[in-house]
């Protein structure tokens, strides 16, 4: 799997989890296969199917 393909898959899964179909690739602040910490104003999203952690801005998270 190429990096571009992986990033598209990450974005697709994050869109579903946070219920925001308008997310863009540049909205993904950080992603890693290891542990990461969300900074102030960010939310951590775990993608169990890919074993990846992603940080996005809190205002882009439409779950609630």
Categorize the per-residue pLDDT at 1 as very low, low, confident or very high, splitting at 50, 70 and 90. Answer: confident
SS3 content of the chain, % helix, strand, coil (to 5): 35, 25, 45
Domain that holds residue 24: 3-60
Mean pLDDT of 9-25: 97
CA distance 35 to 22: 26
List the one residue out of 40, 62, 41, 43 whose CA is nearest residue 53: 43
Q: What is the mean pLDDT of the chain?
A: 95
Q: pLDDT tens for residues 31-42?
A: 999 999 999 999
- At residue 32, the pLDDT reads 96
Contact 11, 25 (CB under 8 A): yes
CA distance 1 to 10: 12
Categorize the per-residue pLDDT at 64 as very low, low, confident or very high, splitting at 50, 70 and 90. Answer: confident
Q: In total, how many domains does the chain have?
A: 1
């Amino acid at each position: 799997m190429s990096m571009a393909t992986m990033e598209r898959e990450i974005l697709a899964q994050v869109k579903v989890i946070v219920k925001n179909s308008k997310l863009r690739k540049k909205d993904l602040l950080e992603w890693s296969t290891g542990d990461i910490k969300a900074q102030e104003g960010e939310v951590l999203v775990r993608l169990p199917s890919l074993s990846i952690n992603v940080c996005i801005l809190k205002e882009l998270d439409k779950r609630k």
